[in-house]
């Protein structure tokens, strides 16, 4: 590795002022980190968030309960889009406890990619359900593991996927293929924004009870 170049690439431009995020959700071993690494300008980094069962902001002796902390690990990469915008790509596990941390970590995310291994489609049910629940726009990307091929219709049916959610196929090891997954998400986001009659400069409406 050329350390001089990689060192340079580690540092953001001093004009960078707007961080953006896209979350890649998927089960263990589905290729989240591989996809992030394929397009990231930095070697993917790993960090964690912890959440105590007792919740936040409890500082008295009840805080002893915080010793049963839940920890969720996630990794991330980075793409400098231009002089000001920096896109952070998060690879996040789809397991149940992770979704308790969604708002704290990923509120304001542009959108999500659900990365699917077609040999284990049922692993992705929960992620699709939670993203719909959070109202986060997403695309489904099937990572090619060379298993038996499924038609898009079969995969849509297995995931009970709404017609408007794009379904794409990719090879997460390929930079070009991973880049196309992200482009398909952003194009989908543009469609969602254009189609949303409530989109405009106004406060967030309260969801109906």
Partner 1 sequence: MSRVRPGRDDSPDRLYTLTGGRSSSGSTAFDVVTLVVAESDPAPGMQSEHAAILRMCRFPTAVVEVAAGLGLPVSITRILLADLHDTGRISARHPRPTSYRLPDHDILEQVLVGLRNL
Nearest to 75 by CA among 139, 32, 114, 110: 32
Please identify, using beta-carbon distances, which residue of 118 and 188 lies nearer to partner 1: 188
What does the alpha-carbon distance between residue 58 and residue 198 come to, in Å, rounded to a whole number?
38
The answer to the question of residue 110 lying near partner 1 (CB under 8 A) is yes
- Contact predicate 186/178, CB 8 Å: no
Q: Which of 69, 103, 149, 152 binds partner 1 (CB under 8 A)?
A: 69
Query: Going residue by residue from 77 to 96, which x/- string records binding to partner 1, judged by CB under 8 A?
Result: -xxxxx--xxxx-x------
Query: Which among 69-77, 91-99, 142-150, 153-161 is the span making contact with partner 1, rule CB under 8 A?
Result: 69-77
Residue 167 contacts residue 142 (beta carbons within 8 Å): yes
Paired tokens of 96: 């149940």
Q: Closer CB to partner 1, residue 121 or residue 189?
A: 189
Binding site for partner 1 (CB under 8 A): 11-14, 16-21, 39, 45-52, 56-59, 63, 66-67, 69, 71, 73, 76, 78-82, 85-88, 90, 104-108, 110, 135, 137, 175, 179, 182-183, 186-187, 189-190, 192-194, 196, 198-202, 204
């Amino acid at each position: 590795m050329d350390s001089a170049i990689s060192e340079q690439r580690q540092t953001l431009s001093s004009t960078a002022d707007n961080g953006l995020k896209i979350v890649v959700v998927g089960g263990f071993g589905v290729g989240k980190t591989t996809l992030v690494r394929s397009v990231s300008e930095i070697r993917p980094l790993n960090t964690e968030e912890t959440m105590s069962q007792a919740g936040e902001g409890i500082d008295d002796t009840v805080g002893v309960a915080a010793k049963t902390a839940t920890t969720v690990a996630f990794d991330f990469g980075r793409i400098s889009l231009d002089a000001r915008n920096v896109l952070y790509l998060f690879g996040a596990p789809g397991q149940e406890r992770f979704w308790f941390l969604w708002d704290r970590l990923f509120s304001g995310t542009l959108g999500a990619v659900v990365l699917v291994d077609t040999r284990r489609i049922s692993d992705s049910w929960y992620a699709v359900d939670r993203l719909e629940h959070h109202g986060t726009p997403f695309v489904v990307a099937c990572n090619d593991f060379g298993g038996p091929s499924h038609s898009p219709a079969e995969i849509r049916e297995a995931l009970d996927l709404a017609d408007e959610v794009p379904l794409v196929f990719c090879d997460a090891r390929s930079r070009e293929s991973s880049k196309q997954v992200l482009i398909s998400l952003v194009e989908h986001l543009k469609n969602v924004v254009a189609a949303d009659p409530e989109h405009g400069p106004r406060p967030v409406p309260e969801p109906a009870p």
